[in-house]
Amino acid sequence: MAIDTIHQPGKNYDSAASLQRLSWNAFAKISFRIFFIYFFIQVVPLDWKFYRDIFHINFASLQFADIFNIAHYSPWFFSGGQTYADWGIIFLLSITGAFIWTIAGNKKLKEYNLLYYWLRVLVRYRLAIAVIAYGFIKLFPIQAPYPSLSNLNTNYGDFTRWKLFSLSLGIVPGYETFLGAVEIATGLLLLYRKTASVGAFIVIIFTGNVFMSNLAYEGGEQVYSLYLITLALFVLTFDVQRLADLLVFQKPAAPVHFKPHYQTKARFYTKITLKTVFILFFVLLYGWQTGAAFYSGTGRFPQEPGLKGTTGIYNVAAFRINNDSIGYSATDPNRWQDVVFEKWNTISIRSNRPVVIDSNNVENFDDHSPGRAYELQGSAARHYYTYVVDTVTHTLLLKNKNRHYGEETLLLHYRKAGDSSIVLTGINERKDSIFVVLDKLNKKYLLEEVAQTGRQKPIKL
């Protein structure tokens, strides 16, 4: 492989925009060595844990979530994902490495144009994988699903900020799709040398906003989003001088003078093949799997259907505990206020019994039912139960889904009384016997009514 310059040097060429100098000064060389090691460690999977996770993937039935997790790589040394401390360690390693490199390296080398080129290739592909991975789970709105019935029947103040962010995005799948399309397009721009800087610029704006959202909504992807921004800044740096010359300083701007030249056909075809495989895996296969997951209804809610014909919200018309009747109460911690039967096998009960919030604020998609906890994460006021139906004995075995209440089970016999009533009898989580009459509410949601009729027509609700 050799260097191919577009412009022949030495012909009175003195544009300040020329970044690809023939000879780099000492400062440029030393900084390059530091950055090279830094970004190399940040983007190339050297972390053994990455291979451990790959080893656990069942490639025979590869899920979108598996690819998503591969795409979510960033090295970490301590526990539970990357922190800014890891950046510090990597930076110290880079300085040490650059020091050794400077002493022991080839002192005759005048520049690192070729190495710079390939480092930029690594970084932009790494960045492309990340934004495409996030793009597809928005294009097919899996990341933030439409709120569940229980979510719609929870007070605004009973959600955490992170959950409200997710719910607010979830009510507008079309907007989520738009955001996903932008991200995917950005990722594709990064795959081509000539458009990479445009892609990197969009990442800085788009992911910059994601980073600010993570700060504001106490999301869990703060470090990761800033990590992606640093990669984008690195990619953009290559062109930033010429873009500033053109757009801000209104000076003549010199184009790139360096690109790799593949001397043998074999090398050229290797490149084409690698790129094709990359696109097949991270764009086509991943996109296909994400779409398939979306259309088959797998996402962040459980998949097992609930008790047939019960979906809805119910008023708790009568409530007895150990044969003591308790009237409607907004304050009694034992008295149920309303009950939601989801389409799937989840029941949620609103009462004044406090909830220790099951909080999760990162995207976690390999969450297999019945553990799928998105519906209750970041939410108070309701207790969520997954249940198993025995249609022979007409019993429901309820298990609290919140990991703070993992031991709680209720065994309830159910009887349908008429079209819209259900009578539950059995024992609750404290082994008290309970008797509950549920009346289905014909609840209309302003959110959905207005979506149908628009905001110009008066609505009475």
Partner 1 sequence: MSVVTTPHISSNGKVAPSERPAIAEKSAELKKWKSWQRLLFRIAFIFFISISIPNSPEWYKIVFNIDWTNLHYRDLYDIARFGSGINFFGNSIFGNALLGYANWITTLLLSIASGLVWTLIAKRRKTERNEYNILYYWLRVIVRYRAGIGIIGFGFTKLLPVQMPYPSLGLLNTNLGDFTAQKIYWLSIGIVPWYQVFAGVVEVTAGTLLFFRRTTTLGAILLFGALGDIVYVNFSYDGGVHVYSSYFVLLAAFLLIDDLPRIYRLLVQEKYTVAVHIYPVFKSKWQQFARAGLKAATVFVFLILLFKLQLVNFLYDPYKQPSVAGLTTLRGNYNVTEFRINNQLVPYSPVDSVRWQEVTFEKWTTLTYKVNRPTLIDLSNGGGDPQKDINRTFELSGTGGGRRVFHYYADTVRNVLYLEDKFKAVPDRRNRAAGVGGDGGTDKNLGVVKNGSLNGREIIARKSKADNWIPAESAAVIGTELDKINKRAASTRRVREFAEPQKNEKRNRMVFKYETRDGSHIILTGVNENSDSLYIILDRADRKYALAESGLQAGKY
In the region spanning residues 116 to 175, those forming contacts with partner 1, defined by CB under 8 A, are: 147, 151-161, 164-165, 167-168, 171-172, 174-175
Residues 6+ apart with CB under 8 A from 452: none
Smallest separation (angstroms) from partner 1 to the CB of 311: 14
Concatenated DSSP letters of 254-301? ----EEEE--SHHHHHHHHHHHHHHHIIIIIIHHHHHHHHHHTT-SSS
Q: CA 205, 209, 228: angle at the middle one, nearest 5?
A: 70
Does 218 sit near partner 1 (CB under 8 A)? yes
Smallest separation (angstroms) from partner 1 to the CB of 91: 27
Smallest separation (angstroms) from partner 1 to the CB of 373: 15
Cβ atoms within 10 Å of 88's Cβ, excluding its own: 10
Residues in 436-455 at the binding interface with partner 1, rule: CB under 8 A? 443, 445-448, 450-451, 454-455
Residues in 392-421 at the binding interface with partner 1, rule: CB under 8 A? none
Q: State the DSSP code for 140.
A: T
Q: Which H/E stretch holds residue 420?
A: none
Number of residues that bind partner 1 (CB under 8 A): 83
From the list 29-37, 244-252, 289-297, 341-349, the region that binds partner 1 by CB under 8 A is 244-252
User: CA separation (Å) from 392 to 117, 343, 389, 395, 415?
Assistant: 68, 21, 9, 8, 12
Smallest separation (angstroms) from partner 1 to the CB of 317: 8
Binding mask 358-387 for partner 1 (x = CB under 8 A): --------------------xxxx------
The three-class DSSP label of residue 131 is helix
Smallest separation (angstroms) from partner 1 to the CB of 256: 6
Check if the beta carbon of residue 174 is closer than 8 Å to that of residue 139: no
Lookup: tokens for 97: 């490495």
Check if the beta carbon of residue 86 is closer than 8 Å to that of residue 63: no
Binding mask 330-349 for partner 1 (x = CB under 8 A): xx-----xx-----------
Cβ atoms within 10 Å of 334's Cβ, excluding its own: 16
What is the separation of C-alpha 271 from the centre of its chain, rounded to a whole number of angstroms? Answer: 30
Residue with Cβ nearer partner 1 (199 or 306) = 199
Smallest separation (angstroms) from partner 1 to the CB of 335: 11
Give the CA-trace dihedral at 157, 158, 161, 164, to 10 degrees. Answer: -90
Residues in 81-100 at the binding interface with partner 1, rule: CB under 8 A? none
Of positions 251, 261, 267, 368, contacts partner 1 by CB under 8 A: 251
Of positions 240, 246, 285, 326, contacts partner 1 by CB under 8 A: 246
Residue with Cβ nearer partner 1 (218 or 304) = 218
Lookup: tokens for 172: 């507008």
Binding mask 20-59 for partner 1 (x = CB under 8 A): ----------------------------------------
Smallest separation (angstroms) from partner 1 to the CB of 442: 11
What's the CA gap between 125 and 145, in Å, rounded? 29
